[in-house]
Amino acid sequence: MYSEETREEGDQKVAVLKRILRSLGVEDEALDSIRTEADEEKRKNAEEGRRDEETVKEKELFRLLNALNSNLFGKRYLIVLDDVWEDNEWSQRLDGEETQQEKTHLSCGFPKGSGGRVIVTSRDEGLAKKIVGEEENVQRLFPRSDVESVWEIYKDAFGEPMKDENGEVVKDAAGEPMKDAVEKHVIGEDGRPTKWVVNPRYPGRYKKELMDKSGGVPWAAQMLAKIEPLKNDEDKDM
């Protein structure tokens, strides 16, 4: 969860939250104002002689969590915390209501009850259990060696069988549905609808590339299906 980029930004918890907020469209100017507000609150309390045991970083963290919660509230969301390795209480028990008592706990940034989900990946099973809580929330991902099963996972996540201009499933020369041809409709960067198609000229090479990129991990194959179709030098027109 803490990449080299977050390390360079200083406090790792703050950096992680800022990265998530930026991905949600929050501008750097708004993030800077949060830090300024935390500084001003600490300074004002000191000038007025008020007892204030919170550090500026803790105040900033609290505000960032509130901002994250506000941006996600009422929405269905999927947050992926990839390759978590550091064992600390901040990210543990994301499913537990009791952690809400700690106002700077990571779980405070994720509103409950709107269909939101958080996926955590880790090579440390013990740490993963601490984070997700219940055993039933732990999914052990073992790479598959069967190319066809990974290909089926990819196709199911990608879209639906490719259809012709009449809306009929495309068939091969023998009149059978083309099992390796799938499509999906997406909105392009220009705001216009477009169609992505996977119809490899050389299915064997395409499936090998999928295995190479996913490592045989089902979740990775599903994620690859969410981006543009894979391409290789032999299938320029896919």
Q: Which residues sit opposite 184 in a β-bridge?
A: 196
Sign for the CA dihedral angle at 124, 149, 224, 112 comes to: negative
pLDDT confidence of residue 68: 94
Single-letter code of the amino acid located at 228: E
pTM flag (> 0.75):
no
H-run or E-run covering 224: helix 218-224
pLDDT digits (tens, 9 = 90+) for 7-24: 434 578 899 899 999 999
pLDDT < 70 regions, the chain: 1-10, 87-89, 91-93, 95-102, 188-189, 228-238
pLDDT confidence of residue 65: 93
pLDDT confidence of residue 230: 61
d(CA 235, CA 152): 19
d(CA 38, CA 36): 5
Q: What's the DSSP call for residue 234?
A: T
Q: Are 232 and 209 in contact (CB under 8 A)?
A: yes
